Amino acid sequence: MSSKLYTMLMPILKVKDLDAEVAFYLSLGFELSYDDEDFKAIQYGENIEFGLGRKSEVNVEVISQHFTWQIAVNSVQEVLDICGEKNLEVVQGLKKYTYDFGDVCTIIVRSPNGYNVVFEGDL
């Protein structure tokens, strides 16, 4: 098997309000890399890409019980500052965790469609 067989994880989140979800990620500095009526691709640099698909009936509460949407960042504080500037809903403020390999900080931000997005990294 080739060591580069798998190159990128590209999940697709189903949302009722596609436009609001796109605006949320754009406000955080992501870019729109594909634009169709019922599907959008969101990208940040070369390593982060995911899709947003329109679906009229989505139970985000049930999805969130089995799925954590987490994005690694260089500065959790910078994301927190952006959330304040853009009036994004922070549902868990800054938390610091200490592990054998060092400290990790997190915040949780709620997207317009109800996904809890965890941002994790250095302060």
Are the beta carbons of 120 and 106 closer than 8 angstroms? Answer: yes
Report CA dihedral (64, 26, 84, 113) to the nearest 10 degrees: -30
106, 93 contact by CB (below 8 A)? no
Q: What is the pLDDT of residue 1?
A: 66
Per-residue pLDDT of the chain (123 residues; tens, 9 = 90+): 667 888 889 999 999 999 999 999 999 999 999 999 999 999 999 989 999 999 999 998 888 888 899 999 999 999 999 999 999 999 999 999 999 999 999 999 999 999 999 999 999
pLDDT value at position 30? 98
| Alpha carbon separation from 97 to 24, 66, 76 (Å, rounded) | 27, 22, 13
Q: Return the DSSP state at 86.
A: H
Q: Reduced to 3 states, what is the DSSP secondary structure of residue 64?
A: helix
Residue extents of the structural domains in the chain: 12-121
Say what the pLDDT of residue 7 is: 85
Q: What pTM did the predictor assign?
A: 0.92
Which homologous superfamily is 12-121 in? 2,3-Dihydroxybiphenyl 1,2-Dioxygenase, domain 1 (3.10.180.10)
